[in-house]
Copies of this chain bind each other. A is one copy, B any other.
Amino acid sequence: MRNDVNRQFRLKTRPTGRIETGNFDFVENPIPEIGAGQALVRVLYLSLDPTNRIWMSDMDQYMPPVEIGAVMRGGGIGRVVKSNSSRYKEGDLVSGLTGWQDYCVADEGENAMGVLPAGLPIPLPTMLGACGMTGLTAYFGLLELGKPQPGETVLVSAAAGAVGSVVGQIAKIKGCRAVGIAGGADKCRHLIEDLGFDAAVDYKRADWRDQLIEATPDGVDVNFENVGGEIMEAVMMRMNLFSRMPLCGMISGYNTGEPMRGDFSPILMRRINVRGFIILDFMEKYAEGTIQLATWVAEGRLKHRETVVEGLENAPVAVNRLFDGGNLGKLVVKVADPV
């Protein structure tokens, strides 16, 4: 770790299929100078998210794609090391779109970052995970769009992932039956034994469709959809009349370059409400959600796990873990020690 240069991953080519280190130039630039109203931020942790893969592509998406030659976009947490803005003071912890680099510049406009409350008893990786954007995605997607009622069945795919693991636990807190789909016996055991899910479906086993039926004897009232593809189609055939389907992601399709098709007829026949969302849609309620999530964490009702990869240089390799099933909980990259 050096503190005299700004290492940056700049997008060189758009990945086709899996993300390769060669899709980026890893360059060293001077630490940026800041102007009036700006602050210099030392990046401490990067958040790795499936949406990184979308941003690398030029598919139809919810923000502009990362331009070729630009610093790779990514969420993160950093510390203010110099400030010309009354919004930030030296030593503040801030979160937002840091990019895949050692230093970023926060301003008071489009590139503003959020200042974290001082003295929170929550570790920084958790502030990117269960108490950060990831947790908020689960919180608002499930509660505002899924509208689960006590006694209903909530199913979530990619359930051992950062978002899915929070979805299932909030479902339990709200008095629902929580069913998770994950890959492998270890993850499924983790869902039930550590996180309190009622049932788990191992999609890597040949009988996953039978498991799904067995795990949802009363059908599915809320399907928090993260993966798309044939798993989504099978789940939709378990969904009840007037059920809800917050569509958070379709990770199974991000690497294929193909349209992410699925059968629409259950939407019609079962009068399902399907609603796509991203967490930015709920920005005005972040404070409420963060406080609730941090409270549940502090009370021990919301368990969380983070996988920390050491070193900015490993981000392009590590992000693939989100797609090949090799990840449990929130995946972060430690860029610098949080001194």
Contact = CB atoms under 8 A, between A and B. Distances in A.
A275 B264 contact: no
Given A60-B237, A237-B60, A261-B261, A276 B281 contact: no
B237 A269 contact: no
B261 A268 contact: no
A275 B273 contact: yes
Contacts of A268: 62, 247-250, 276-278
A243 B156 CA distance: 25
Contacts of A272: 275-276
Nearest to A277: B271
A61 interface: yes
Contact of A261 (B249, B262, B276, B281): B262
Contacts of A237: 60
Interface residues of A, number: 34
Given A274-B274, A274-B275, A61 B264 contact: no
Contacts of A60: 237, 265-266, 269
A259 interface: yes
Contacts of A275: 267, 271-274
A229 to B, nearest CB: 10
A235 to B, nearest CB: 13
A8 to B, nearest CB: 27
Given A60-B237, A237-B60, A260 B271 contact: no
Interface in A235-269: 237, 247-250, 253, 259-269
Given A60-B265, A259-B263, A260-B265, 12 more contacts: A59-B265, A60-B237, A62-B268, A259-B265, A261-B264, A262-B264, A264-B274, A267-B275, A268-B276, A271-B277, A273-B275, A274-B274
22 contacts: A59-B269, A60-B265, A62-B268, A247-B267, A247-B268, A253-B265, A259-B263, A260-B263, A262-B262, A262-B264, A267-B275, A267-B276, A268-B276, A268-B277, A268-B278, A269-B276, A270-B276, A271-B275, A271-B278, A273-B273, A273-B275, A274-B274
